[in-house]
């Protein structure tokens, strides 16, 4: 495949854009669902799968992921990855103009930092899919190292978010907390997509892809991400959650690729500066976001009505 072809660049852009289109569908379905709780994952999963709008969003998400795998296989990483920043800018415009989600000056500044961090980390990439080391794909230590921390963060956010949401006067958990949790899991899932692209580049075989851990890594981490995202969209603004997912997910993708594939950090001065500065900007963006977020309009009343129905029936 010709990685310089505009067609592959368009595929990469579509892959990241479809992600955020699915977020809009998830938000629409979240507004009409009964309140979801992370501590009840089976109930949350059934509620999501039985909603046609959410199901359409889920299909779009996996279409986007398939485009990402193709882009990872066809393009150098420093070409494929920065498209997320462009898609994020489009989502910012859409949520502001159509969904009427307003950002304060501080939030706009942090959003700009997030886009900058995503682009910088993407441009700092040095490895193509064929360069990744997948010889120890089933080695337990790297898999545990990339899976367990995000899963623990997701569990903690679910439990804390559920507890705080139940109090009459308690402030809801911020969108930044949900975004970090979902973003870490999404970044690991994207690292699995890079693994699929690498296996295909080396062996050109569907059977080899199925025999690798990467499809199952994607399914597991994407499943956690989707539940976390849907809970977040019932309680927080879409744009805040999406920004933090994008920036924390990009950081998690870089770190997970280092652990899973032994991908070296850049040695060229310019790209190393981009990588280090990008991580610094990620940290700054996450720290600068408000610790608490205004609840989604109507979320409390919907939750209260559902709780009353549960008590009465």
Average pLDDT of the chain is 82
If one counts the domains in the chain, the total is: 1
How much is the pLDDT for 163?
A: 62
**pTM beyond 0.75:** yes
At 83-98, the pLDDT tens digits run 777 778 888 888 888 8
Backbone angles phi, psi at 50, to 5 degrees: -85, -5
Residue 288 lies in a domain: yes
Q: Write out the residue range of the structural domain in which residue 61 sits.
A: 6-304
At 293-308, the pLDDT tens digits run 555 555 544 444 444 4
**8 Å CB contact between 290 and 176:** yes
**How far is Cα 189 from Cα 184, in angstroms, rounded to an integer?**
9
Residue 309 lies in a domain: no
Q: Which residue, among 155, 312, 156, 158, has the nearest Cα to 234 in the 3D structure?
A: 158
How much is the pLDDT for 171?
A: 57
Per-residue confidence band for 291, with pLDDT thresholds at 50, 70 and 90: low
Q: What does the DSSP 8-state code read for residue 173?
A: P
Question: What is the crossing angle of helices 140-165 and 214-235, to 10°?
Answer: 10
Place of tokens 């193509």: 128
Per-residue confidence band for 167, with pLDDT thresholds at 50, 70 and 90: very low
- Per-residue CA distances from 205 to 34, 69, 259, 260 (Å): 43, 14, 24, 20
Conformational region of residue 262, where left means phi above 0, alpha means psi within -120 to 50, and beta covers everything else: left
Q: Which residue, among 240, 227, 222, has the nearest Cα to 176 in the 3D structure?
A: 240
Per-residue confidence band for 43, with pLDDT thresholds at 50, 70 and 90: confident
Residue 266 lies in a domain: yes
Residue 197 lies in a domain: yes
Residue 93 lies in a domain: yes
Residue 312 lies in a domain: no
Q: Which residue, among 17, 20, 37, has the nearest Cα to 234 in the 3D structure?
A: 37
**How far is Cα 13 from Cα 16, in angstroms, rounded to an integer?**
5
How much is the pLDDT for 151?
A: 92
Q: Which residue, among 133, 135, 90, has the nearest Cα to 111 in the 3D structure?
A: 90
**How far is Cα 9 from Cα 116, in angstroms, rounded to an integer?**
20
Residue 313 lies in a domain: no
Residue 1 lies in a domain: no
At 195-236, the pLDDT tens digits run 999 999 889 899 999 999 999 999 999 989 998 889 888 888
């Amino acid at each position: 495949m010709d990685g310089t072809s505009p067609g592959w660049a368009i595929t990469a852009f579509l892959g990241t854009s479809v992600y955020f289109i699915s977020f809009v569908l998830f938000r629409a379905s979240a507004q009409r669902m009964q309140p979801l709780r992370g501590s009840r994952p089976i109930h949350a999963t059934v509620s999501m799968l039985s909603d046609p709008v959410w199901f359409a969003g889920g299909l779009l998400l996996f279409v986007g992921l398939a485009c990402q795998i193709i882009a990872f296989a066809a393009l150098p990483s420093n070409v494929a990855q920065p498209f997320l920043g462009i898609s994020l800018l489009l989502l910012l415009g859409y949520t502001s103009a159509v969904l009427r989600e307003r950002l304060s000056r501080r939030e706009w500044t942090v959003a700009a930092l997030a886009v900058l961090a995503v682009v910088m980390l993407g441009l700092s990439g040095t490895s193509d899919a064929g360069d990744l080391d997948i010889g120890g794909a089933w080695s337990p230590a790297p898999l545990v190292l990339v899976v367990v921390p995000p899963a623990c963060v997701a569990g903690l956010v679910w439990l804390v978010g559920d507890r705080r949401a139940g109090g009459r006067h308690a402030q809801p958990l911020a969108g930044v907390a949900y975004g970090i949790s979902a973003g870490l899991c999404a970044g690991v899932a994207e690292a699995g997509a890079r693994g699929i692209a690498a296996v295909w580049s080396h062996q050109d075989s569907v059977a080899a892809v199925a025999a690798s851990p990467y499809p199952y890594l994607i399914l597991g981490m994407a499943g956690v991400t989707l539940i976390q995202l849907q809970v977040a969209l019932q309680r927080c603004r879409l744009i805040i959650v999406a920004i933090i997912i994008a920036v924390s997910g990009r950081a998690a993708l870089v770190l997970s690729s280092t652990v899973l594939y032994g991908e070296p950090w850049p040695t060229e001065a310019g790209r190393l500066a981009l990588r280090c500065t990008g991580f610094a900007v990620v940290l700054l963006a996450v720290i600068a976001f408000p610790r608490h977020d205004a609840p989604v309009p109507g979320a409390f009343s919907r939750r209260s009505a559902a709780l009353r129905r549960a008590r009465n029936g």
